[in-house]
């Protein structure tokens, strides 16, 4: 019985160790490839959101939205509530850009490419859209904003597709707390304080 237990334990340990080794090697190769492609132009790897940051029409705010590939209804909600609300348009010159990775299915990839073509506000990055790749999505998003919007957007507000922004409070915050010097040299975050 002890011998059987030792044999099972040893076999299980070898199996798990081998699986972890294969997983690590596979993912490190993928990450190396991803890092090597970081400077590749986005139009080679995905649809490029055109004219979101036109320097002839400066923006007060560019909303930088992390979104999952399958969350097209959330992206539609943002388009409906922010872009088609005239009261918000009177307060703020803004635009939205949605950042996604690629789908692992042909149908999913075609759907997001169609959406990107239709609205022109979706940037598809050259890696799979997984939770594990959120850091890459954020870094690629920062690079995209820096490459395309640094001369046209005064502020960049990063949000997730499952969060709502109170635009009226945001405008108040920007007008009260931001000067040109502060805006160009700082990052502001919402922090939760202890409620007890």
| Per-residue pLDDT reduced to its tens digit, 37-65 | 545 555 444 445 657 777 777 888 888 89
Please check whether residues 59 and 23 belong to one and the same domain: no
State whether 67 and 145 are in the same domain.
Answer: yes
In a domain, 178, yes or no: yes
Does residue 171 share a domain with residue 95? yes
Residue 169 lies in a domain: yes
For 79, the token pair is: 């388009």
Note whether 167 and 140 are same-domain residues: yes
Residue 193 domain-assigned (yes or no) = no
State whether 84 and 100 are in the same domain: yes
192 belongs to a structural domain: no
According to the model, what pLDDT value does residue 74 have?
95
The shares of helix, strand and coil residues in the chain, as percent rounded to the nearest 5, are 55, 15, 30
What is the per-residue pLDDT across 154-189, written as a single tens digit (0 to 9) for each? 888 899 999 888 888 888 888 887 776 666 667 777
Chain centroid offset of residue 54 CA? 21
Q: What span, in angstroms and rounded, lies between the C-alpha atoms of 36 and 133?
A: 15
pTM of the model: 0.72
Residue 18 confidence (pLDDT) above 60: yes
Residues 52 and 118 in one domain: yes
62 and 142 belong to one structural domain: yes
| 61/141 same-domain check | yes
Which pLDDT score is estimated for 100? 93
Task: Say yes or no: 3 and 55 in one domain.
Answer: no
Only one residue has tokens 């490459």, namely 147
**Number of domains comprising the chain:** 2
Residue with more model confidence, 43 or 195: 195
Q: Identify whether residues 25 and 118 lie together within a single domain.
A: no
Same domain, 127 and 32: no
Checking if the pLDDT of 105 tops 50, the result is yes
Q: Among all chains, which residue has been given the structure tokens 């009177």?
A: 90
Half-sphere exposure of 149 (CA within 13 A, CB side): 25
Q: Could you list the residue range(s) of the whole structural domain that residue 83 is in?
A: 42-184
């Amino acid at each position: 019985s002890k011998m059987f237990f030792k044999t099972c334990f040893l076999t299980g340990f070898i199996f798990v160790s081998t699986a972890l080794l294969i997983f690590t090697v596979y993912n490190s190769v993928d990450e190396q490839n991803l890092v090597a492609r970081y400077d590749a132009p986005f139009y080679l790897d995905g649809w490029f959101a055109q004219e979101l940051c036109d320097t002839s029409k400066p923006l007060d705010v560019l909303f930088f939205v992390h979104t999952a590939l399958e969350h097209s209804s959330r992206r539609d909600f943002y388009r409906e509530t922010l872009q088609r609300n005239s009261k918000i348009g009177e307060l703020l010159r803004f635009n939205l850009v949605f950042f996604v990775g690629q789908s692992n299915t042909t149908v999913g990839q075609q759907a997001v490419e169609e959406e990107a073509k239709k609205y022109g506000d979706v940037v598809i990055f050259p890696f799979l859209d997984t939770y594990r790749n959120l850091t890459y999505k954020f870094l690629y998003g920062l690079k995209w904003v820096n490459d395309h919007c640094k001369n046209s957007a005064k502020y960049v507000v990063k949000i997730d597709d499952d969060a709502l922004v109170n635009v009226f409070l945001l405008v108040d915050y920007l007008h009260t707390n931001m000067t040109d010097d502060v805006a160009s040299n700082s990052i502001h975050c919402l922090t939760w304080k202890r409620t007890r």
